[in-house]
Structure 1
Amino acid sequence: MADADVAVVGAGIVGCAVARRFALEGARVVLIERGADILSGASKANSAILHTGFDAPPDSLELACMREGRGEYLAIRDRFNLPLLETGAIVTAWTEAQEGQLDAIAAKAATNGVPVERLGKADLRRLEPGLGEAARAGLRVAGEDVIDPWSPALAYVLQAMTHGARVLRGEEVRAGHFDGALWHLTTSRRVLRARTVINCAGLYGDRLEQILLGHGSFEIRPRKGQFVVFDKAAAALLRHIILPVPTARTKGVVICRTAFGNVLVGPTAEEQEDRDHPATDAATLRALLAEAARMVPALAQVPVTATYAGLRPATEESAYRIRHEPLRNWITLGGIRSTGLTAALGLAAHAFRLYSGDGPAHDPVADPVWPRMPMLAEDGARDWQRPGYEEIVCHCEMVTRREIEAALASALPPGNLGGLRRRTRAAMGRCQGFNCLGRIAALTAGRLDPPLACGTGGEAGRGGDG
């Protein structure tokens, strides 16, 4: 007997979306995560942009999954109470050479079915008066918008759990074999039997293939991105997402508002071997600040709220690395980099089509339950605006005691400080927890690992997770 129809390994944004899709399709799902909480790896440090796919390779699986994922997100976000900051984007050319590339980018966007508007220097000044004088021309892309980077994954998992999925955190898959009918997976805590394995292990996706299949079909080459977060006062300086003209290797440094009222600058693109410990460095952060001030000069006068670094699971190729072995009941969704937040729901649907083949595999849920997420966006209806919240615990982000207690009492409570921050935004504002961590330690006593009374702990991540 199988413990599950499907074992999803890795609870990043893609793994969470896959768990949801398969649970809604009627499969018995177990989601296995080596970290203390969901989004413990690459997904916790994303740039929170919902992409259109205007610059994706035409006719690629990446573009197809972005289209499908974006469409589904827009269709379901209100049911989950997920925000959308409609900003649009401007691909901005700062040099003559970059300006010469705009026609090719516009042609690709047209091929991909995404309309763009060519902008001259005067148009840029009208739409973004705060841009630096060196801005020469641009392309305006409607639909490139900003969302909450973490709440979607939590919504997907909670809906999956409502329909029977199990979530195992703090468990690493260390060995396993396929006996012709079932996978026998040995984790750090137990042995699980599943009919199918879906590899969503992100930065460890290649190693999971090596462990369970005997060889990897791709090689993860971790790519670090460093970010700077400006104070909320910076939001008044910007209307659109400011995108660079991309290179063959990276989409480049972006400036955009966040759903939480700040302005974000990043990421860099730095290769490193370590898959677990992205670190910021002073020289790179200074360069990011200088780049931000060059593009939007008034940012030079705005204080920095936080800096952070994350890792993307880049590989030796730029395309998604999908591996389907039906004879061994195996699917890999690998090499999902900058577009994972947008494409996650599309990738989940693609994985289910691979899994089910020509016919239905299970009886889908007829009337799904839609968990409502707490509203964390600055322009949404926040908890502190309703009576009965008892106290404001984090004054920088206006996080209430009621929000923290609700997170701790939820079906999937935070496993560490990083998880609590991503669920509530507590300790992620101007003081970075200086004024509220003592109170948070008291409220979370015995609930987080490591406990805050012994140090803030947690993993590194967006805004500093520990």
Structure 2
Amino acid sequence: MNADAPAYDMAIIGAGVVGCAIFREFSLAGLRVALVERGADILSGASKANSALLHTGFDAIPGSLEAACMREGHARYQALHQGLGLPLLRTGAIVVAWSPADLAALPGIVARAHDNGVLDVRQISAEDVRTREPHLADDLLGGVLVPGEAVIDAWSAPLAYARQGLAMGGTFLPNTRVTGGSQAEAGWTLQTSQGPLSASVVVNCAGNQGDAVEAIARPSPFEIRPRKGQFVVLDKTAYPLASAIILPVPNERTKGVVICRTAYGNLLVGPTAEEQQDRENATVDQAMLEGLLAQGRRMIPALAAEPVTTTYAGLRPATQFKDYQIEALPQRRWITVGGIRSTGLTGSLGIAAHLHRLYAQHFGPLPTPADPVLTPVPNLTEEHPRPWQRPGRDEIVCHCEMVTRGEIAAALQGPLPAGDLGGLKRRTRCMMGRCQGFYCTWRVMEIAAPHVPGLVTPIQGSSA
């Protein structure tokens, strides 16, 4: 190890939702932890775009590590969400059968759920489905009810995890690309774009760059095969058209197109499942988006009258394996966390707990932690009152999402301020409503420019 480099007990490479959860876990456990991220902010990679569902793991492969981490992650989120100010919309889910083949598959879905310990899952009749979801097309044949599925805020959760890690003494290192490393008996010296960094143990949580980072320690046993998912976000007027998460009968390759509410009062349709070589760019495709809308309208005909607010795409770090690729390498003082696909949001807290056990088994007991500091994040959802609704509120900057100047200013300050414009959007919802920033971009940029490197300050006095 390099005696001149900043020294940590653990360096976590990658600040997606899983990296943030692991950062929280080991900071709470009393280690000196560095969360290393090549982007300017947390969630700069795969974790910034997903369907924001908290899964029970009812349809995971029984006995898999993914199933275990999802089950534990689901339970841990429910236990801590109130203390961290995180939403939990208990919508439940219905797997809907649209064909005789789908209907024949429903008993197997129930059996798998029970094998996974999700015992409240049950098959329901077509009449029951229609009663629960009257806007679904009339030709549905039946369904499976999954009461424990829920909707959360995919951006506030990792922010809360990272902020709690910081409050417990952890360090966040943005704009820090890991380019290599060398191991000595005491641990690693990582070479980064900001200089060397020393750590006793390294955790590879690099998402779509996971196999490239793994090559620092060993020839990677897995290959990242990015899988793109495209989504359509419908206007807030569509929100009442589905109360539960509407799931299709899955196939071997994908769970299929989902219709669900968002924590922000919209309705979401997606994702697609498209393999691609490019690990950086998740572009949207008009033909695929039209296909998504067609499938959504097939299931809920009234969606044909609803306008689209926006579209987006994300890349999931899939590998050639169906299960998570998590492994401790004691001789290398390295822990691999790879192949965490669309279930990473749910599984993140369970993955962190699993790593806690791996660390204790292979690297020794953890220190006795101090009492945890609670770091609740601001509410972004429609579930609870927001600042614009309070007496004496200040200027509303984004009228589509009702975001105040105070919210934007707060997101640009504090222990984990927004590192770029994308981070500011994810912390406040500004520029993410019906006009997609057409009316508020100028004012948002004016407020943010002094705080965010690279933003151009608008001409003084020219904004509303």
Q: TM-score range by the shorter chain?
A: over 0.9
Other-structure match for 1:84: 88
**Alpha-carbon contact 1:321-1:334 (below 8 Å) kept:** yes
Distance 1:95 1:199 in 2: 43
**Alpha-carbon contact 2:30-2:370 (below 8 Å) kept:** no
Q: TM-score, normalised by structure 2?
A: 0.96
Distance 1:261 1:452 in 2: 32
Other-structure match for 1:424: 428
Other-structure match for 1:120: 125
Partner of residue 204 from structure 1, selected from 197, 209, 221 = 209
Other-structure match for 1:139: 144
**Alpha-carbon contact 2:217-2:332 (below 8 Å) kept:** no
Other-structure match for 1:188: 193
Q: Could you tell me how far 1:360 is from its partner in structure 2?
A: 5.9
Deviation string, structure 1 residues 196-236 (Cα, Å, up to 9, x no partner) = 000100001111011x1241010000000000000001011
Other-structure match for 1:152: 157
Alignment of 1:202-351 (within 5 A): 202-210=207-215, 212-351=216-355
Distance 2:360 2:218 in 1: 25
**Alpha-carbon contact 2:232-2:268 (below 8 Å) kept:** yes
Partner of residue 64 from structure 2, selected from 55, 60, 72 = 60
**Alpha-carbon contact 1:198-1:331 (below 8 Å) kept:** yes
Partner of residue 75 from structure 2, selected from 68, 71, 77 = 71
Q: How many aligned residue pairs are there?
A: 454
Gaps of 5+ in 1: 455-466
Distance 1:446 1:35 in 2: 19
- The 3-state SS of whatever aligns with 1:157 is helix
- The runs of 4+ residues in structure 1 deviating greater than 3 Å are none
Alignment of 1:358-397 (within 5 A): 361-397=365-401
**Alpha-carbon contact 1:180-1:328 (below 8 Å) kept:** no
Q: TM-score, normalised by structure 1?
A: 0.95
Q: Could you tell me how far 1:362 is from its partner in structure 2?
A: 3.2
Letter aligned with residue 408 of structure 1: L
**Alpha-carbon contact 2:328-2:362 (below 8 Å) kept:** no
In structure 2, relative to structure 1, the CA distance for the partners of 1:416 and 1:105 (3 Å cut) is same
Q: Could you tell me how far 1:453 is from its partner in structure 2?
A: 4.4
Distance 1:190 1:91 in 2: 50
Gaps of 5+ in 2: 459-464
In structure 2, relative to structure 1, the CA distance for the partners of 1:452 and 1:311 (3 Å cut) is farther
- Comparing 358-367 with 130-139, greater Cα deviation is found at 358-367
Distance 2:310 2:124 in 1: 33
Query: Alpha carbon RMSD of aligned pairs, Å?
Result: 1.4
Partner of residue 105 from structure 1, selected from 105, 109, 118 = 109
Q: Could you tell me how far 1:46 is from its partner in structure 2?
A: 1.1
Deviation string, structure 1 residues 431-458 (Cα, Å, up to 9, x no partner) = 000110110011012322430548xxxx
Distance 1:290 1:449 in 2: 41
Distance 1:112 1:214 in 2: 33
In structure 2, relative to structure 1, the CA distance for the partners of 1:331 and 1:277 (3 Å cut) is same
Distance 1:453 1:136 in 2: 57
